[in-house]
Amino acid sequence: MADTEKIIEIEVLRYRPEQDKEPVWQSYKVPFTDDMSVLQGVQYIKDYLDETVSFRWSCRMAICGSCGMMIDDKPKLSCKTFLRDYYPGKLRVEALKHLPIERDLIVDATDFITKLESIKPYIIPKEERTLAQGEYLQTPEQRDMYEQFSSCINCMLCYAACPQYGLNPKFTGPGILALMHRYNADSRDGGQAERNELGYADEGYWGCTAVGYCSEVCPKGVDPANAINQNKMNSAINYFTRFVTPGGADK
């Protein structure tokens, strides 16, 4: 190996419910090379220094959304963050903020999953078509209306970033509202009315105060703040026009 071995200090916030009353920091010295991600650093700890450290990971290439953690207090995918950027200083890794810690770097995602299911994150066809009628066609322009919002990998970094979700966990939150927009904005979908009952509530779009940190931390370039803002406009128009639009009052 051309690199001379460098050692970096990684502090991990440990929480083992059977022995820790509250989370505690534990420090490890990890030898690393310039091509090693923070995830690889944590894997080194588990493989060679302390097998009790728990964390989630799968793909190692920012596709699966499992390895999100707070790295020096910023929500990041640990597979997409490199140890060299913290050297010669140390770095601190801890479980994603705003979500209950299950164990060490693992958070309990129940709230996120429940909310995700509640928005019907699938296409509800505008018109039922039989197989014989063929596929649902869409132009590239129609696809552009939602495509960036479909890149979400459910990594929950935006939930750790969102101060509103931190203050009030009833708020649906950035990622799921962006996904809601992804389906509502799809020309093949007809489920807007069903989804917007939540969207138009305080727990929906209106829980957002346009801080915008969600869009900054998203590793996939999704812009939840933009999705929410577009829908605030839609929701406001609907609020004022519902009584003069035919069938609008029950939406």
Query: 114 vs 130, which CB is nearer to another protein?
Result: 114
Integer Rg of the chain from CA: 21
Show the site string, 104-143: x = touches another protein by CB under 8 A, - = not: ----------------------------------------
Of 49, 202, 245, 248, the one binding another protein (CB under 8 A) is 202
Segment contacting another protein (CB under 8 A): 52-60, 72-80, 95-103, 193-201? Answer: 193-201
* 226 is a site residue for another protein (CB under 8 A): no
Of 60, 92, 126, 232, the one binding another protein (CB under 8 A) is 232
Query: 153 vs 198, which CB is nearer to another protein?
Result: 198
Query: 150 vs 235, which CB is nearer to another protein?
Result: 235
Cα–Cα dist 74/153, whole Å: 18
Angle (nearest 5°) at CA 172 between 170 and 176: 155
Cα–Cα dist 43/217, whole Å: 23
Task: Name residue, tokens 């995918």.
Answer: 77
Closest separation between CB of residue 30 and another protein, Å? 36
Cα–Cα dist 151/162, whole Å: 19
* Residues between 152 and 191 with contacts to another protein, criterion CB under 8 A: 163-164, 167
77: β partners = 68
Segment contacting another protein (CB under 8 A): 42-50, 119-127, 153-161, 203-211? Answer: 203-211
Cα–Cα dist 136/124, whole Å: 12
Contact by Cβ (8 Å): 54, 103: yes
Angle (nearest 5°) at CA 174 between 58 and 222: 65
Task: Name residue, tokens 């770095």.
Answer: 91
* 193 is a site residue for another protein (CB under 8 A): no
Chain centre distance of CA 61: 16
* 206 is a site residue for another protein (CB under 8 A): yes
Q: Is 70 helix (H, G, I), strand (E, B) or coil?
A: strand
Q: Does the N-terminal peptide bond of residue 88 adopt cis geometry, omega within 30 degrees of 0?
A: yes
Query: 7 vs 167, which CB is nearer to another protein?
Result: 167
Segment contacting another protein (CB under 8 A): 2-10, 98-106, 153-161, 204-212? Answer: 204-212
Closest separation between CB of residue 230 and another protein, Å? 13
Q: Which residues are near another protein by CB under 8 A?
A: 163-164, 167, 197-198, 200-204, 206, 209-211, 232, 235-236, 239-240
